[in-house]
Structure formats: C-alpha cells, structure tokens
Structure 1
Amino acid sequence: MTTVPTFVTFFADFADDAVFNAAGDVERPGGNAIAAALCHQLAEEGVPVFPPVQHSFYGWAFATKPKGALGFVLQYVDPWLLICENQGGVAPDEFIAMVHATHRALVSDPRFSSVQWFTRTEFDKGAQGANEPV
C-alpha cells in the first residue's frame, strides 16, 4: 500500500496578516487569510470545514465537519506548509478523496502556486515533492 502524501507546500499571494506586539513577538501568526481561503475552497469542493483557529504561536488549524474527521495545520516554513491529518474518523478511500479535494482547492485558486506534495518522510528528508498527491 502506498503512503498517501499529507504534507503540501505552496506559495500564496496574500497580504501578510501577522500581528506583532510592541516587543516584536508574534501575537497572531500570518496565514489567517490563507487558511480562510482554503476553508472556502474546500467547501466549494464539497468538503465542509470549521473556520480556522490559531494553532499555538505559529499557525492556523481547521477541521472538516463532522468534527475530528480530518484536521489541517497551516504554517509558514518558506513556502507555506499545510499538513492534512486523518484524525481517525475517515476511511482510507475517503481520506484519499479529501486529499485530492485539498489539491483541487489549492490549484483552482490562482493565488496559490508551486503546489508540491510530500509524505512526512519525504518532507523531513528534503526530497523533491510531487505535483499531485497520488
């Protein structure tokens, strides 16, 4: 069985929406508008999602409805990194379908470019990504 790529990198043409305090520390990480756009695009692909919420100090998280089926974490690692996680509520075929819907959501919006898919191992090793998930 082939491992499904769940790490996707891309560039995004959005204004920086990070918020910093007077000391220069991150109060709200950048990427909120990107996460919101991804949620909208996923909904257009028939994958309803909850709105994004801040994930620690470095990113944004959102999940499919029903809650807990599939989770996403967005963070900036130059380029952007979106991690798709099966949180135990999705059958393997449905998970693959959601990964493909995520890919279509990214490539259908011209603000996203250079979309590359990786398994966790490939990403950790700095391997070349694939243009499509599977």
Structure 2
Amino acid sequence: MLFEDPWPVRVQPSGILNTAGSKKGSYHMMKTLWNNEPHIHIATQNIEKSLNKIDANGNIVAKKPEKWKHALWEWQDVNEHWNYKTDDMISVEIYSNCDEIEFFLNEKSLGKKKLSDFEDHIYK
C-alpha cells in the first residue's frame, strides 16, 4: 500500500507558528481578529501561487471568493519577503484590524482602502 504523504507525519503545517517558532501569516490574522491594539502585517506571494488573481479592472481579488469561509486548518502559502524577480507579478496581502489603511508603492499613494470592503478581513 502506498501513502500519498510520508509516514510517520512528524509535523503538521497547520497552526500559527512554524517549526522554528516564527509567526506565520495565520498568527497575524488571528491577532487582528482577537486584539483591539492596532496591528498590521504585510505578506506577499507570486500571483501564480497566490489565492488571489487580477480581475478585468486590474484589482487583486480572491480566485475563490468563498474559500476563506472553509479554511479551518490550513493557511495560504505567503512570504515575509520581497525577494522577487523584476517582472514578477506579486499579490500583497495586509492583515490589519485598522478600519482604513493607505497603500504606497515607491512613495506613491495607491489609495486608501477600508477593511469593511474585504469580507475575509484581508486587505489586498
């Protein structure tokens, strides 16, 4: 009999910390949901690997808008870095409990966004 996953499983990818004890994206998301102190965290991912896509209007939106309602034990693969190639298209997610934030790229404002506009509570 063949197993799809290596056995025995020594570590599960679920949870808010990685095996080194570093905070993962899920940690920051939970902190924004369960803490009144202002918190903001930026995560990135190549658009191909991301749960997001670019819509016809040029906005980043979820590939499967309802998926977040069912993601109980896993968190999307996001990075804490900006080490990408020059032409890579990057999805930026911001976990925050602030009612409104302003996005900047190279010191140029991309506009303000309201948390109430994102049903999953993740600024994109």
Q: Does the alignment reach a TM-score above 0.5?
A: no
Higher relative contact order (CA 8 A, sep 6+): 1
TM-score, normalization: structure 1?
0.26
TM-score, structure 2 as length reference: 0.27
Larger radius of gyration: 2
